[in-house]
Structure 1
């Protein structure tokens, strides 16, 4: 249902317009406050605004309405705005129409003319959005046909595009590639892109999590074993290198491979040869190796936990996958993929964009799955993601000096790195201070909360208590 916002200082006008538009099937939101109007435009999916030009008693200059109009245009340049007033100033009307207002109507208005205008404007907005969506889909189709195989990877950021371009470029050769990045950022998908665009695309592609290999079975897992080579080995076992012969072996979390396993891996990378456990026969293989890690291998080398010679064997080319909070343009395409055919409020989108995403794409996917189960119908609101409630769990372990702007915490793992605003401000803000901040930040609650060192939920409680509109 299309949402119409009406801003007027006269309750009788709000009531009359609401009744008129609701009869014609519109969802109507009303307010007498310009500040509240800006909040609605910033948070809700408003299709059209009808706004008065004066909001203070005995004021007829229209400056209040003019200021509100320009502020709304800054928030949403494409939002249709109908100006309506009992004090018509032709010069001012011409200025605002040139600035983008779609109409300037004098009070009392003609019901039928106003409804016809709204119907046409809303229909035009829908047509424009549908046309833009079709153009995007057509462009994406052409791009997909002309581009490399991205194995269904969902992204829109230039940062991720650079990683994809490099992955496609190195895929044509047989050199070893090391993919680095935080947990859940998409390293395995990049490995799949390399494989899909390589000459080995139709050959074996075997994945193994090195951190999950038991230390006493590493040799058997990687290189196989003859029957009787160890207790429980009742028949010959083919190792992963042999199974991947002629294709690609993806060694995930290579930084977790025990030192003894590193030594055996280095030998096969150097010679292309190995022996099954319990056998003296040498097997020659041709395998491309792609590895990935969320660890800093150079630090591990300095600490004596990772072989330097193995590092240089694996890291002929390094691809760094940035964390999700460094490629925010990917967030909404991923959300639309994980929550297909669902509508999100602007406040929900804003919450998603501003969230830290410590767990990267994996955290985003799990968050969307939870919302799909707990809020299966209707428009998804910011509260449905319940970020504040989750962040408050175990918050006593977070230093009071943590800051939302602590960029060093981004992409790091563990609750000690989670960036949060101070939970207890140095001084309780007054009503005047909060109202001033709300005006300065145009009703953007996240910015006001940051200014006073509050969480959003704490700020909401204070606004409700003091009767401040948001």
Structure 2
């Protein structure tokens, strides 16, 4: 629903009859509006009234002018005042070429005279709803940053880089779970950061001074899994000439992280279940029962419930491990995290154009954070110290499609501006050149987003 009390449309037309007709049309549909008869009046109102969320402007303001140049000048003036405000152009057929040009440079839409009332109202409502959503997102981002700062005062996040609400919720839950001793199952696609979450659990647990032992169960040969987990006596199997300490013993008093748990053999599952139930186990080749105090965190990208139905995974072990489940979303579902991660992986050693940052943020990253890190490392190696090109990242992206769409990518997000500013050590002039702005245009955006910068 639209928020009539906080959103307003500014109608700019030198013809009072046209202005009144548009005003009445919007009023009938519950949309607040006001009229400005001149470009100067429109600019002044936009500077004064923060509740103006959209502009509908004519392209000519003099009786003997039909070129559309006055409307073009007004468009760019309004964008200087409020770079992000949606602007709808009302055009005659003679100004169609200019209208198309302005749409490529950020105008929301153009409407030909005489306009269709229903289409115009629908367009305005959609744009106002989008503007309202974006404002809510900006407020949510500011709230999240404040909450994250408070969380960092009492918790160790192990250097986790994130900016998305979904990851913040997951981190909050992780910290709460960490303070208990129950087993945790971390699920999510490959490369999404399951081991990092396991380390956060360890760092905020009561055994945070104990060892953190990680074993990739999926990378071990089936015949060696039990020896790796529980240890083996000398001669227990061919090729072992001395006693071997298992991962459970090594993790005693700390945390054992079992990655790729879905690949554990049936025998290994049975022995793991016993350890979880009693804390007891035997090394291979030994009948001596040993005890350990280990917190087990497991992780998998396998659908264990499906594996249970097919008989490949024990149901009792699943419920023993799955006291709490933490589901890591893929990177594609938390795009707000992409730019902070790029900045972290590039370590300030290279620069990126805003259009390339936008493209990297739009890429689906099927390999998740691991793929993003690898791509950044590749780019740094191929382009030492210069401006990175999209091809340096080695991604399967058609650059001709990106180049053809570049004119539509005109307004960088807060995250892009912050990243480019960091890349340039806070020097506004350098950041503005990289973004393709004047310094004044960048200053306006810094003030709008309340971004700190070097004076």
Global fold match (TM > 0.5): yes
Cα 1:216/1:391, change in 2 over 3 Å: farther
Equivalent residue, structure 2, for 1:177: 184
Equivalent residue, structure 1, for 2:172: 165
**1:197: how far off?**
0.3
1:194 equivalenced with 2:201 (yes/no): yes
Question: Which of 361, 364, 381 is the matching residue for 1:373?
Answer: 381
Equivalent residue, structure 2, for 1:154: 161
CA distance in 1 between counterparts of 2:372 and 2:347 reads 14
Cα 1:70/1:223, change in 2 over 3 Å: same
**Paired residues, what number?**
288
Equivalent residue, structure 2, for 1:234: 241
Q: What secondary structure is seen at the aligned counterpart in 2 of 1:387?
A: coil
For residues 225-277 of structure 1, the C-alpha deviation after alignment (integer angstroms, 9 at most, x for no partner) is: 12222222212211111111111110001011122211121121122111111
Equivalent residue, structure 1, for 2:356: 348
Question: Which of 216, 222, 235 is the matching residue for 2:229?
Answer: 222
Q: What secondary structure is seen at the aligned counterpart in 1 of 2:408?
A: coil
Q: Check whether the contact 1:347–1:381 (CA below 8 A) recurs between aligned residues.
A: no
Equivalent residue, structure 1, for 2:284: 277
Equivalent residue, structure 1, for 2:294: 287
**1:382: how far off?**
3.8
Q: Structure 2 length normalisation: TM-score?
A: 0.58
Question: Which of 408, 419, 423 is the matching residue for 1:443?
Answer: 408
CA distance in 2 between counterparts of 1:304 and 1:148 reads 40
Cα 1:262/1:74, change in 2 over 3 Å: farther
Matching of residues 63-462 of structure 1 within 5 Å: 63-70=71-78, 76=84, 143=150, 146-341=153-348, 342-388=350-396, 443-444=408-409
Q: What secondary structure is seen at the aligned counterpart in 2 of 1:67?
A: helix
Q: Structure 1 length normalisation: TM-score?
A: 0.56
Equivalent residue, structure 2, for 1:62: 70
Cα 1:320/1:75, change in 2 over 3 Å: farther
CA distance in 1 between counterparts of 2:286 and 2:398 reads 54
Structure 2: segments with no counterpart, 5+ residues:
1-58, 86-141, 411-455
CA distance in 2 between counterparts of 1:224 and 1:265 reads 13
Q: Check whether the contact 2:148–2:168 (CA below 8 A) recurs between aligned residues.
A: no
Q: Check whether the contact 2:355–2:409 (CA below 8 A) recurs between aligned residues.
A: no
Matching of residues 28-47 of structure 1 within 5 Å: none
Structure 1: segments with no counterpart, 5+ residues:
1-52, 78-134, 393-420, 422-434, 446-470
Q: Check whether the contact 1:349–1:382 (CA below 8 A) recurs between aligned residues.
A: no
Cα 1:384/1:218, change in 2 over 3 Å: closer
CA distance in 2 between counterparts of 1:358 and 1:60 reads 47
Equivalent residue, structure 1, for 2:43: none
CA distance in 1 between counterparts of 2:191 and 2:84 reads 34
Q: What secondary structure is seen at the aligned counterpart in 2 of 1:195?
A: helix
**1:65: how far off?**
2.1
Q: What secondary structure is seen at the aligned counterpart in 2 of 1:62?
A: helix
Cα 1:294/1:75, change in 2 over 3 Å: farther
CA distance in 2 between counterparts of 1:211 and 1:256 reads 5
Q: What secondary structure is seen at the aligned counterpart in 1 of 2:166?
A: helix
For residues 299-324 of structure 1, the C-alpha deviation after alignment (integer angstroms, 9 at most, x for no partner) is: 11111111111100100000001111
For residues 33-86 of structure 1, the C-alpha deviation after alignment (integer angstroms, 9 at most, x for no partner) is: xxxxxxxxxxxxxxxxxxxx99xx973761122234446777646xxxxxxxxx
C-alpha RMSD of the superposition: 3.2
Q: What secondary structure is seen at the aligned counterpart in 2 of 1:292?
A: strand
Q: Check whether the contact 1:325–1:357 (CA below 8 A) recurs between aligned residues.
A: yes
